[in-house]
Amino acid sequence: MKTILLILAVLLFTSSTFPALKRAPAHIEQYIKRFLKTAQKEAELYNIPISITLAQGIIESNAGRSELSKKHNNHFGVKYRGSGKFAIYKDDSPRDKFQVYKSAWRSYRDHSKLLQTKRYKHLTKLSRLNYKDWACGLKSAGYATAPKYAEILISIIEKYSLWVYDFETLIRWI
């Protein structure tokens, strides 16, 4: 029964709301495969859409290929907040400090905890299926300075059908 519901839901959403499912480039597929279970666990624990977590990771770390993610395990462009080690990179200013992590998993967990702070906490009241409002909320709350950050997140989620992972979680609850 669950399988039938999932298939029907995917067909409904895909045909009427979203562009056709597209195969992602190999490096994006590898990134998703590597971090999907982590994003799923963070969604369960912190009520953050899997699609948002994966899309932010893909954007902020260039799917794990950025120097910041490779050398310092920072997959979300999290700035230094006063404890632990930091690395200096050019971002909004020539010498921005970014948090350094011992592992990519710690970066994912810190990202989840960051989204629980006062600045972002209101987003956790949104449905985990509502990635568009989450994307707009992240931009409005100041997560990134890119003027079209919400549109970029939404584009990545739809281009690589990351929203399916949010929906699969809902189907498991039924």
CATH number of the domain enclosing 147: 1.10.530.10
Q: Which CA distances in Å does 90 have to 59, 70, 128, 142, 160? A: 16, 16, 33, 18, 29
Q: Using CA atoms, how far apart are residues 56 and 155, in angstroms rounded to an integer?
A: 11
* Domain around 117: 2-173
Q: In the prediction, which pLDDT does 17 show? A: 46
Could you read off the pLDDT of 134-173 as tens digits, one per residue?
Answer: 999 999 999 999 999 999 999 999 999 999 999 987 676 5
Q: In the prediction, which pLDDT does 90 show? A: 87
Q: In the prediction, which pLDDT does 93 show? A: 82
- Phi, psi angles (nearest 5°) of residue 117: -75, 165
Q: Using CA atoms, how far apart are residues 171 and 64, in angstroms rounded to an integer?
A: 29
Q: Using CA atoms, how far apart are residues 89 and 34, in angstroms rounded to an integer?
A: 25
Q: Using CA atoms, how far apart are residues 115 and 120, in angstroms rounded to an integer?
A: 5
Q: In the prediction, which pLDDT does 94 show? A: 83
pTM: 0.86
Number of domains comprising the chain: 1
Q: What does pLDDT average to in each consecutive run of 10 residues of the chain (174 residues)?
A: 52 47 86 98 96 98 98 97 93 90 98 97 95 98 96 98 89 63
